[in-house]
């Protein structure tokens, strides 16, 4: 019973911290749009802020890593739970409580790993923060994507694009990865490959969909806010239109399934895509010359990590207290048995 009383509070606090109840979908660090996207001053100020935030995050991340090492990791705490669970004096009711506590520790480990993954991608263009949501029936944690937009940043790419508002770019992937052969991304660092095709990331990156081909002798590419792609060809006086961007929306973008490299594919949770031109209806507009910064708020992530670390300390202290009580109880029983 002592075990049950001492650890019940730890379990209740742990459920609150690691999502035994479904967390709200409150946007974390909802990014404010740059007021004037054509202003070099605004862009320079934003770049300076992001750089400073990145440096501060790396320093704090090192401190948190040392803190986790000092705690001997969650697996060590789970080992303490296992030892207590199989003590001969532990009742069946206490074992049930310890089993639930062990499950909470596993969830805490996953939650901390998710926060570290988010922190590691603070500077990743187009990265969407991962969040853990408890399934309403099973209470099992599921990974979702925070659809909050990041802020615009300049990186100097000749074909950098950002969607200001809802929507995702579409790129071609292997049919073996997705039945539709289409992946979706907010990362807009596009370029033109040797064949003149617009691709994502590198010269051998996935092809933009619908395909857009840039003719030879092109000096520069221009993209309007509504997604019209035009080129300036050497010797021509006027820009020539070569294509129209098409972006996609989902009823539940948080349900998209990540497949790596900032790419997502549709799932039963996300629903099927709704496609259209930028700035059309509820579709976001295109910011040419900008990329979308990660929507991770490092301060919020670190705050969550520290809260879980504090809970782990509470669990370890509670387990130590239980062990001490059991030892004292055993000593008293031996002492009573030895009396005449």
pLDDT of 243-255, one tens digit each? Answer: 999 999 999 988 8
Please count the structural domains in the chain: 2
pLDDT in tens, 29-77: 333 333 444 444 455 545 555 555 555 556 656 656 655 654 556 777 7
Do 273 and 305 sit in the same domain of this protein? no
Do 115 and 188 sit in the same domain of this protein? no
Upstream peptide bond of 182 is cis (omega within 30 degrees of 0): no
Give the closest residue to 157 by CA, choosing from 189, 204, 193, 197: 189
Do 44 and 82 sit in the same domain of this protein? yes
Q: Which long-range contacts (CB under 8 A, 24 or more apart) does 64-70 make?
A: 64/302, 64/305, 64/306, 64/309, 67/309, 68/112, 68/309
Do 243 and 268 sit in the same domain of this protein? yes
Query: Residue 228 belongs to what H/E stretch?
Result: strand 228-233
CA distances from 204 to 195, 199, 245, 256, 267 (A): 11, 7, 20, 24, 26
Residues in the chain: 340
Do 170 and 282 sit in the same domain of this protein? yes
pTM of the model as a whole: 0.70
Tell me which residues of the chain have a pLDDT lower than 50.
1, 20-41, 45, 70
pLDDT in tens, 263-277: 999 999 899 999 999
Residue-wise burial string across 178-187, b where 16 or more C-beta atoms lie within 10 A, e elsewhere: beeebbbbbb
Backbone angles phi, psi at 17, to 5 degrees: -75, -35
CA distances from 124 to 118, 209, 249, 291 (A): 10, 22, 22, 10
* Rounded-to-integer distance, Cα 185 and Cα 150, Å: 13
Do 6 and 132 sit in the same domain of this protein? yes
* Rounded-to-integer distance, Cα 290 and Cα 190, Å: 11
- Residue-number span of the structural domain to which 24 is assigned: 1-149+294-340
């Amino acid at each position: 019973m002592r075990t049950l009383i001492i650890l019940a509070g730890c379990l209740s606090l742990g459920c609150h911290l690691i999502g035994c109840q479904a967390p709200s979908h409150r946007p974390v660090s909802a990014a404010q749009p740059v007021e004037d996207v054509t202003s070099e001053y605004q862009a320079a100020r934003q770049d300076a802020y992001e750089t400073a935030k990145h440096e501060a995050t790396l320093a704090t991340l090192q401190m948190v890593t040392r803190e986790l090492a000092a705690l001997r990791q969650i697996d060590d705490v789970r080992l303490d739970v296992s030892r207590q669970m199989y003590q001969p004096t532990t009742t069946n009711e206490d074992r049930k409580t310890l089993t639930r506590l062990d499950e909470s520790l596993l969830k805490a480990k996953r939650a901390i790993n998710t926060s570290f993954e988010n922190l590691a991608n603070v500077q990743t263009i187009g990265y969407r923060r991962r969040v853990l949501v408890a399934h309403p029936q099973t209470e099992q944690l599921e990974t979702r994507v925070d659809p909050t937009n990041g802020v615009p940043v300049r990186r100097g790419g000749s074909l950098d694009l950002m969607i200001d508002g809802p929507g995702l770019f579409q790129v071609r992937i292997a049919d073996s990865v997705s039945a539709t052969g289409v992946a979706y991304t907010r990362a807009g660092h596009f370029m033109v490959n040797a064949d003149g095709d617009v691709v994502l990331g590198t010269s051998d990156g996935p092809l933009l969909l619908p395909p857009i081909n840039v003719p030879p002798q092109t000096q520069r590419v221009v993209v309007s806010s509504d997604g019209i792609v035009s080129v300036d060809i050497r010797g021509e006086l006027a820009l020539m239109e070569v294509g129209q961007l098409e972006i996609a929306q989902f009823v539940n973008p948080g349900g998209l399934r990540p497949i790596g490299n900032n790419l997502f594919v549709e799932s039963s949770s996300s629903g099927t895509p709704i496609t259209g031109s930028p700035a059309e209806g509820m579709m976001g507009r295109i910011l040419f010359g900008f990329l979308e910064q990660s929507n991770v708020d490092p301060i919020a992530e670190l705050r969550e990590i520290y809260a879980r670390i504090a809970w782990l300390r509470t669990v370890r202290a509670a387990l130590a207290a239980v062990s001490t009580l059991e030892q004292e109880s055993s000593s008293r029983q031996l002492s009573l048995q030895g009396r005449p």
